[in-house]
Structure 1
Amino acid sequence: METFDYVIIGAGSAGSVLANRLSEDSTARVCVLEAGPSDWHPYIHLPAGFIKTFHMKSVNWGYSQEPGPWTGGRSIYAPRGKTLGGSSSINGHIYNRGQRQDFDTWAQLGNRGWGYPDILPYFKRLERRVGECDETYRGRDGSLTVTTMDWQDPLCEAFMEGAMSLGIPRNPDYNGAIQEGVSYCQRTIEKGLRMSAAKAFLHPARKRGNVDVRTHAHVTNLIFEGKRAVGVRYLKGGKGGVPVEVRASKEVILSGGTYNSPQVLQLSGVGSPELLQSHGIEVRHALPGVGEGLQDHYAPRSVARVKNIRTINELRRGVSLWVEALKWATTRRGLLSLSPTMVYCFWHSGETTESSDLQLTFTPASYKEGVQGQLEDEPGMTVASWQQRPESRGYVRIRSADPFAPPIIQTNYLVEEIDRRVVVAGMKLARRLLASKPLAPYYAYEDFPGPKVQSDDEFLAAATERGTTTFHPGCTCRMGPADAKWAVVDDQLRVHGLQGLRVVDASIMPRMISANLNASTLMIADKASDMIRGKAALEAVRFPVQA
């Protein structure tokens, strides 16, 4: 049995950043446990390869959600990365931080040091922003390369002109001073290749010699002495593998992600006593909030048929695909260098909304009904629309005491009435955008939800029928004061009532943010690394007082 200073469970986005920062101390020994394989597969590094990794069980947990009251009896697919880099190795590459108000709300909930002025320096420290930007908000010297989509597409340009015709401004940097507006996407792609967290942070850390990364290491439970976490048990090689124990002299850090972190805690006897006892697990520490409060963005996708121009649907077939493959091989540009979403739009669901509560994406392509990641044969264009800050909450709970049984994932999309109203408003705006005058030369007709859908109830029925996840789960090990209902960790990310154990990943978010979650997950880990090492937090940004 080996002893390290730190044992990190999960080599995903958060685990990769933690391994990098903690190993900067040459005397520290860091062990990183990853249930999946190394990130060698070519589809991981080819930007368009996300279509393949989306369903590859070798690098993807491939979970399924439970049918919810507003998903039409459907079980929605819930992919999560299971390889070095985690979901940053299989996601859609998007870099989106969120709004200032998101993080100020975290601080207002009692989480000291998590307001926007406090976390902005960590966003800046992480990134190497390529292109023009306001350096008050953006970083130039970090390890994570952030570029803007550089494929000038007539449909994308027409969509953005259409947005501006509706009063939505063009925004040069939605990760800058304000998020609101329409623009090409920013993404973690450099020179036609994916910039995962493993590539940016974990692989450089491994060269230092004090980081031991163990793949195919499926964690079964934490080891406690009293109320202190002292190590981890895992099976080498996965199910049926060799049992191994590793010890942590300083801390065990749980970075398994929104689904797996609460699962590991529950399997280790930390969680709701009723849940644990129902599966025959001894209650090590009663903490009812573990796994509760799951939030995600729920998106119906509106589709229009296209005329007078070729879309990605045609470009990915036959000779055209070979031409694109040759272009990527020789120049690292073209169709295979693209992220699945090309244009982002942030706007309001109503005139009285003070900050944008809708996020919409545009892609000059369309997908098979109910299947994201599988293109149709017919030419089409798609707008996905979702509510940025949903109120509905669900849960993640173990299915049994078997560590290989997938957890029960119930997101409870749209159970709150305000969520239903905002989603309907998003679909109405998507219709107006697709039917805008600048898109008229290319717009054939609306395919979904279709012209027969007119009333709010009909839009809601369509959302229930075809809406799906945007792959942004969070909030299942929420950060908050000890007396806050459902809080799991404090504002130093230490598990309440236990010692030597932190949770560091998207599960600690107290509320959903107005963004994809990967950028903020990286930020959370970077900030946590200073806490773990006992270093002073980066100096908060001082903004001028607004008149």
Structure 2
Amino acid sequence: MTETYDYIVVGSGSAGCVLANRLSADPAIRVCLIEGGGSDRSLRVKVPAGILSLYGNPNFDYCYVGVPQPYLNNRRIPVNRGKALGGSTSINSMVYIRGAAADYDEWAELGCQGWSYADVLPVFKRLECNLLAQDRRFHGTEGELLVDNPRDPNALCHMFVAAGRDAGLPENTDFNAESQFGLGVYNVTQDRGQRFSAFTAFVRPAMSRPNLTVLSGCEARTVVVSGKRAIGVRVRHQGTERVLTASREVVLSAGAINSPQILLESGIGPAGELQRIGIEPVHDLPGVGKNLQDHVDGMITVRSSSTRTLGLSVSNLPRMLAAPFQYVARRKGMLTTNYVEAGGFARTRYAEGVPDIQFHFVPGYRSHRGRLVEYGHGYAIHTCVLRPRSVGEITLSSDASKRQALIDHRFFSDEHDAKVLVEGIKIARSILASQAFDAVRGVEMLPGKDVRSDDEILAYLRAEALTVYHPVGTCKMGTGDMAVVDPRTLKVRGIDGLRVADASIMPKLIGGNTNAPSMMIGQMASDMILRRNVAA
């Protein structure tokens, strides 16, 4: 097997798959795509409802757990990240959201020229194959990424949208157009009711290219640096360690947890911190691992006796038995659900123009005990803080024999986030109080009817709040001392032949799900690389 390539892309998630496709389109460029996980061909991955069997499953999920959070009762928060071809796009909820135009304009204002909404909108459109005849000013139809509606959304999703109108939230049929505000059924990345991951969209069609090598089950350990230039990647593959050489560049697309971890393991990061845990610094870059941001989330869950909701029960047994046949025959029924079929965006009294909270509505019972599957029926609303001010970091454990990433979100370290989420829970409750839900009315299990005041809601959130798995920012682009990559090139500052292209380069967390924005970053990075090749 060839050990030398022109480009080595580490990580087959949202950004890495786009990069591998675009770079290997030139037959003269040898590309190696590395993925630490295995195959994505399981029915658990392909069938949308299989998502419940993926979270916490070590065959598909890295199953990270954060460090104790002092503002969340010292709880350790699970951090699910995809471990398969397709990365987290093989285990996510398939929601297609780009974020608000203002998010990208803020990036530009922070010194990231070339990343304004006017700059990135054409890139989103190039990647997209919109199947919904949505406004061509905002959507593309020639790209590889299929964007569709859920095949068979549950009736409660329409109740949710109707209830929003009673709460002053209009129906929104396109969250990626002029405004995010309002509620609606989410667009999803699916192909006729089947998951359409980044790997499915961008790499599988390119697998026949002789200049593209895909190595699954291949763990990237460190970047090999000679002088101040990256020359390869040290990997563990099929039980052995070896070095893969990159004659041109190494591109880290391993995500906001793994990309900084690999840099730190390689001696690229805050020199003093590295020395204290026994790693010899190769290049002092203080921003590596800093600036961690994520969407902190609170849930309202209602137990209902209505079998119109998704659920596990004797009365629902006929529908459950019919589901596999409906799915195979017509791509309909319960197995098409991604569970968060509807949602939307709202403004609390703390919002500054754009919405500051997002809802993910689940037309099934979310366990009040934290289980993935709970007997019975009901529905739930997840509410998250879209633009958190709390900032955390990724560091490494000091145990050299088994070095691990220490994930510290520092949720609620800025009290503004707690205030926003308390208000968000109150808005979510106002939606559920609408007459639109009367036909399926049930008992609020969490937070519970006795949790009413702001202080009581905040205490509930400290005990129960989690994340919706949108970590970003840990190798941020910019111009200041804490910037890790140059926004014009995404090259790691001070190291030649090394770039980062994934959600970790975001200077600020966008208002929405991070899959589509990460694909956009992969496309931007490939354009930067290929322009350099043409110039050369």
- What is the CA-CA distance between 1:2 and the residue it aligns to? 2.4
Q: Flag the 1:291–1:45 CA change in 2: closer, same or farther, 3 A.
A: same
Across the aligned residues of Structure 1 and Structure 2, the Cα RMSD in angstroms comes to 1.8
- What is the CA-CA distance between 1:103 and the residue it aligns to? 0.5
CA–CA separation in structure 2 for the residues paired with 1:212 and 1:352: 47
Specify the code of the residue in structure 2 equivalent to 1:486.
Answer: M
**Counterpart in 1 of 2:175?**
174
Q: Decide whether the 8 Å contact of 1:304 with 1:380 is kept in 2.
A: yes
**Counterpart in 2 of 1:486?**
482
Specify the code of the residue in structure 2 equivalent to 1:38.
Answer: S
SS of the residue corresponding to residue 441 of structure 1 reads helix
**Counterpart in 1 of 2:133?**
132
CA–CA separation in structure 2 for the residues paired with 1:489 and 1:283: 18
Q: Decide whether the 8 Å contact of 1:63 with 1:406 is kept in 2.
A: no
**Counterpart in 1 of 2:438?**
440
Q: Decide whether the 8 Å contact of 1:220 with 1:403 is kept in 2.
A: no
**Counterpart in 1 of 2:508?**
511
Specify the code of the residue in structure 2 equivalent to 1:461.
Answer: A
CA–CA separation in structure 2 for the residues paired with 1:73 and 1:189: 38
Specify the code of the residue in structure 1 equivalent to 2:100.
Answer: Q
1:54 aligns with 2:65: no
1:280 aligns with 2:281: no
SS of the residue corresponding to residue 534 of structure 1 reads helix
Q: Decide whether the 8 Å contact of 2:8 with 2:251 is kept in 1.
A: yes
- What is the CA-CA distance between 1:152 and the residue it aligns to? 4.4
Q: Decide whether the 8 Å contact of 2:166 with 2:431 is kept in 1.
A: no
**Counterpart in 2 of 1:362?**
361
334-343 or 401-410, which moves further after superposition?
A: 401-410
Q: Decide whether the 8 Å contact of 1:103 with 1:114 is kept in 2.
A: yes
Q: Flag the 1:5–1:56 CA change in 2: closer, same or farther, 3 A.
A: same
Please give the residue correspondences for 1:180-191 in structure 2 after superposition, counting only pairs within 5 Å. Answer: 180-191=181-192
SS of the residue corresponding to residue 187 of structure 1 reads coil
Gaps of 5+ in 1: 538-547
SS of the residue corresponding to residue 258 of structure 1 reads helix
- What is the CA-CA distance between 1:11 and the residue it aligns to? 1.4
CA–CA separation in structure 1 for the residues paired with 2:104 and 2:472: 14
Q: Decide whether the 8 Å contact of 1:28 with 1:210 is kept in 2.
A: yes
1:534 aligns with 2:518: no
**Counterpart in 1 of 2:335?**
336
Specify the code of the residue in structure 1 equivalent to 2:5.
Answer: F
> How many aligned positions are there?
531
- What is the CA-CA distance between 1:318 and the residue it aligns to? 3.8
Q: Decide whether the 8 Å contact of 2:305 with 2:376 is kept in 1.
A: no
**Counterpart in 2 of 1:542?**
none
1:524 aligns with 2:521: yes
1:163 aligns with 2:164: yes
1:145 aligns with 2:141: no
- What is the CA-CA distance between 1:402 and the residue it aligns to? 4.6
- What is the CA-CA distance between 1:403 and the residue it aligns to? 8.2
SS of the residue corresponding to residue 523 of structure 1 reads helix
Q: Decide whether the 8 Å contact of 1:279 with 1:400 is kept in 2.
A: yes
- What is the CA-CA distance between 1:203 and the residue it aligns to? 1.1
Q: Decide whether the 8 Å contact of 1:258 with 1:505 is kept in 2.
A: yes
- What is the CA-CA distance between 1:378 and the residue it aligns to? 2.5
Q: TM-score, normalised by structure 2?
A: 0.96
**Counterpart in 2 of 1:100?**
101
**Counterpart in 2 of 1:454?**
452
Q: Flag the 1:221–1:305 CA change in 2: closer, same or farther, 3 A.
A: same
Specify the code of the residue in structure 1 equivalent to 2:309.
Answer: T
Deviations 1:293-324 (A, max 9, x none): 11111111101232444311147964432211
Please give the residue correspondences for 1:14-163 in structure 2 after superposition, counting only pairs within 5 Å. Answer: 14-163=15-164
Q: Decide whether the 8 Å contact of 2:16 with 2:253 is kept in 1.
A: yes
**Counterpart in 1 of 2:294?**
296
SS of the residue corresponding to residue 440 of structure 1 reads helix
- What is the CA-CA distance between 1:334 and the residue it aligns to? 1.3
CA–CA separation in structure 2 for the residues paired with 1:513 and 1:352: 15
Deviations 1:223-252 (A, max 9, x none): 111111011111112xxx212111111111
CA–CA separation in structure 2 for the residues paired with 1:187 and 1:70: 34
CA–CA separation in structure 1 for the residues paired with 2:478 and 2:413: 24
Specify the code of the residue in structure 2 equivalent to 1:85.
Answer: G
User: Percent same amino acid at aligned positions?
Assistant: 38
- What is the CA-CA distance between 1:177 and the residue it aligns to? 1.6
**Counterpart in 1 of 2:347?**
348
Q: Decide whether the 8 Å contact of 1:505 with 1:525 is kept in 2.
A: yes
Q: Decide whether the 8 Å contact of 2:223 with 2:230 is kept in 1.
A: yes
**Counterpart in 2 of 1:543?**
none
- What is the CA-CA distance between 1:536 and the residue it aligns to? 11
SS of the residue corresponding to residue 82 of structure 1 reads coil
Specify the code of the residue in structure 2 equivalent to 1:436.
Answer: S
CA–CA separation in structure 2 for the residues paired with 1:340 and 1:426: 20
CA–CA separation in structure 2 for the residues paired with 1:351 and 1:38: 44
CA–CA separation in structure 2 for the residues paired with 1:536 and 1:150: 43
Q: Flag the 1:42–1:352 CA change in 2: closer, same or farther, 3 A.
A: closer
- What is the CA-CA distance between 1:351 and the residue it aligns to? 7.6
Specify the code of the residue in structure 2 equivalent to 1:468.
Answer: L
Q: TM-score, normalised by structure 1?
A: 0.94
- What is the CA-CA distance between 1:523 and the residue it aligns to? 0.4
CA–CA separation in structure 2 for the residues paired with 1:24 and 1:81: 26
- What is the CA-CA distance between 1:191 and the residue it aligns to? 1.0
Q: Decide whether the 8 Å contact of 1:267 with 1:403 is kept in 2.
A: no
CA–CA separation in structure 2 for the residues paired with 1:378 and 1:335: 15
Q: Flag the 1:134–1:340 CA change in 2: closer, same or farther, 3 A.
A: same
CA–CA separation in structure 1 for the residues paired with 2:62 and 2:189: 22
- What is the CA-CA distance between 1:83 and the residue it aligns to? 1.1
Q: Flag the 1:150–1:250 CA change in 2: closer, same or farther, 3 A.
A: same
Q: Decide whether the 8 Å contact of 2:250 with 2:497 is kept in 1.
A: yes
Please give the residue correspondences for 1:183-202 in structure 2 after superposition, counting only pairs within 5 Å. Answer: 183-202=184-203
**Counterpart in 1 of 2:465?**
467
Specify the code of the residue in structure 1 equivalent to 2:326.
Answer: K
Q: Decide whether the 8 Å contact of 2:49 with 2:334 is kept in 1.
A: yes
CA–CA separation in structure 2 for the residues paired with 1:404 and 1:54: 24
Please give the residue correspondences for 1:382-397 in structure 2 after superposition, counting only pairs within 5 Å. Answer: 382-397=380-395
- What is the CA-CA distance between 1:38 and the residue it aligns to? 2.1
76-85 or 443-452, which moves further after superposition?
A: 443-452
- What is the CA-CA distance between 1:60 and the residue it aligns to? 1.4
Q: Decide whether the 8 Å contact of 2:155 with 2:308 is kept in 1.
A: no
SS of the residue corresponding to residue 148 of structure 1 reads coil
Q: Flag the 1:455–1:527 CA change in 2: closer, same or farther, 3 A.
A: same
